[in-house]
Amino acid sequence: MPEPTRILPRMHPIWGWFLPLLTLFLQSIIYLGMNWETPGIDWWFLTFVCLVPWTVWVVLVPGRWTAHLGSYLLGVAFYAVNMYSIRQITPDGYDGLCFYYGMFYWLYGGLVREIYRRLGWSLVAIVPVVWVATEQLRSVGPLAFPFMFLAHGNYQRLVLIQISDVTGAVGVSFVVAMINGLLASVWLHYRRPPAVRGTGRCLVRPAVATLIVLAGTLLYGSIQLYRGTMRAGPRVAVIQGDYPSTVPSSDAQEGPTESDKARTYFQLMEQAAEFHPDLFLFPETPWMMYLNDEYLKTTSVDTKYRRYLLFQETSRLFDQIFREQARRYSATVVVGAASIEFYQTVIFPCRKYNSAFVYSPRADGKSRYDKVKLVVFGEFTPFRYWPYGLHTLYRWLDSFNPFSLPEDEFSLVAGKTFTSFEMTDVHNRTYRFGIPICFEDLLPEVSRRFTLGPDGQKQVDFLLSMSNDGWFNHSAIVPQHLAVCAFRAVENRVGIARSVNTACSGFVDPNGRIHDVVRVHGRSLGRGLFGYSVAHVGVDSRLTWYTRYGDWFGYLCSILCALLLLLALIKRRSAVKNIHSADSQTR
């Protein structure tokens, strides 16, 4: 789909540098504006124009290296602004995140420039393919961070996001980026001098292609919203405290004790019990405790690990309370806690896990899920299991973790399987569920692995998401986290109940509709929001294309992007000329 003319308009240098800053401003408004406390403010429409200024700039700026460096600095600035709350946790990690993920902005800018200027293809084709490829690359590997996609700004546009059950969230990003590409093409066309612009007919085919894709997406979404396959599942009570998390320091102010936190959560649980839920859901580690039986039954450990036994008596007490509460209310209790196991080995005698525990009212025991996808540098340090020099490198990297001690490394151990659990409601109906912990629900593959059984069929009816977002100090990351869950629900057609420390606990139905968010005095985000919400979690019989085949669309766009780049590199001469050179030829 080549452009009708290969002549680029001239760009004023001062105005040109304003364009990337405009993109930074628009994108930051979209994501920082995600705030359930003020639902009347929704900047979703900016997603359809936010890439336009930057895209025009990388195409027009005369110097190639200027375009590359400017795109990279734009990416660094974007993450510096939108992830600033991470700085209070780890300044070094915050700097590393900004400088690393800025490379994906450099990748987009560089690829769009080279493909467009060498091949002369329409931006309607180039922009969505390249943008989705960069989003897909951000979603894989140990440093995967599939956050703040173009799609995520449209989480409340239910008709638009239904296509996620085929393509994943990146499919929505594709449609939005395609509209950005069309608007960028219109901008470039009308910035050309009339002598070389031609008629507007050259924009007809790109516009028609965009309208067909958009109309097909909306039609598909309308059909899916009225399929009638969704029904009410068990009643779930999500319990929410408000205890911001901080890195230990010598000048830290005294706050509530672990017993104070436990007392508050149990009071909230008792209040929620009046609505007779079938399941109680607590956040990830609502207070410090170890609930695995290996720890609770330990009688002796190595001297340097004796400090862990300080929690043993209180952990045994909490374990007993959860068992009793499950029987008392005839309800399943799901709570996040740490697990720790001791081994008589020289290497790694102490192994810690981030776990979720399921207490059944009809059994004396409990079940456990260990988090599989750990946060790099947050929950584990790379190279831990590598020999010789690389293990020394691990020790050095681990020393920067504020929770590590000279005699005790902090790194957690990853779980091995995405475990599913079974529960029964008051009507003796049986349901199965999975429990993504913390940022596991950001990773599309995790929710998909929970949903898809080994027989190729759907093995869970809903998901229980637990998180401790107290690290983010009531910032916009908290509602952004909830927004991402809307896409996990649609991708796999599962209802989601979320319990989060600090804010935005609630429910997402299989169509992506967020409902019954915990509110206190009309607020759902901010300080002092202790509360609960009880509602039916939705279940759906649909087994989606995405659940079966995963991120096929993102990988397809990545392959197409690589092919476009290859074609552009093969082409010897640039496909476009600057307007001043065309003027000289005319004279």
Instruction: Give the model confidence (pLDDT) of 475-499 as tens digits.
Output: 888 889 999 999 999 999 999 999 9
Q: Is the pLDDT of residue 257 over 90?
A: no
Domain that holds residue 318: 230-371+416-541
Residue 358: CA count within 13 A, CB half-sphere: 21
H helix intervals, 382-443:
388-398
Integer CA distances (angstroms), 560 to 126, 470, 563, in order: 10, 40, 5
Please tell me whether residues 325 and 211 are part of one structural domain.
Answer: no
List beta partners, residue 367.
358
In a domain, 266, yes or no: yes
Whole-angstrom Cα distance, residue 254 to residue 522? 29
336 part of a folded domain: yes
> In whole angstroms, what is the distance from residue 132 CA to residue 153 CA?
15
Could you count the other beta carbons within 10 Å of the beta carbon of residue 112? 26
3 domain-assigned = no
Give yes or no: residues 98 and 215 share one domain: yes
Pair (63, 116) in one structural domain:
yes
Would residue 259 count as lying in a domain? yes
516 and 397 co-located in one domain: no
Round the average pLDDT of the chain to a whole number and report it: 87
Q: Are residues 381 and 512 in the same domain?
A: no
Whether residue 4 lies inside any domain: the answer is no
- 468 shares its domain with 404: no
As given in the structure block, the two tokens for residue 167 are: 């393509």
Distance CA 7, CA 377 (A): 48
**Does 120 reside within a domain?**
yes
DSSP letter at 156 equals T
Q: For position 344, what pLDDT does the model report?
A: 73
Question: Nearest-CA neighbor of 276 among 425, 96, 433, 80?
Answer: 425
Please, where are the H alpha helices in 344-443?
A: 388-398
DSSP annotation of 513 reads: -
For range 197-218, the mean pLDDT: 86
The per-residue pLDDT for 309 is 84
pLDDT at 342: 86
Structure tokens at 554: 């993102």
Number of DSSP helices (H) and strands (E) in the chain, helices first: 19, 14
Reported as a single tens digit per residue, the pLDDT across 413-422 is 899 999 999 9
Instruction: Identify the CATH number of the domain in which residue 458 sits.
Output: 3.60.110.10
For residues 43-58, give the mean pLDDT. Answer: 94
513 shares a domain with 428: yes
Of 360, 387, 411, the last residue of a domain is 411
Query: Per-residue pLDDT tens for 267-293?
Result: 999 999 999 999 999 999 999 999 999
Q: What is the pLDDT of residue 467?
A: 94
Q: Tell me the average pLDDT across 182-191.
A: 88
Of 271, 377, 359, 363, the C-alpha closest to 321 is 359
Answer whether residue 1 shows pLDDT above 70.
no
The answer to whether residues 219 and 91 belong to one domain is yes
User: Do 73 and 155 share a structural domain?
Assistant: yes
- Considering the domain boundaries, does residue 1 fall inside one? no
Co-location of 129 and 276 in the same domain: no
pLDDT digits (tens, 9 = 90+) for 389-404: 666 777 777 776 666 6
How many domains does the chain fold into?
A: 3
pLDDT for the residue numbered 93: 80
CB 423 within 8 A of CB 361: no
Nearest residue to 481 (alpha-carbon basis) of 460, 501, 504: 504
Let me know whether 302 and 385 are in one domain: no
d(CA 422, CA 343): 31
pLDDT score recorded for residue 212: 97
> What average pLDDT score do residues 336-358 get?
86
Q: What is the pLDDT of residue 79?
A: 95
Asked whether the beta carbons of 294 and 280 are under 8 A apart, the reply is no
303: in domain: yes
The answer to whether residues 68 and 199 belong to one domain is yes
- Residue 153 token pair: 């700004």
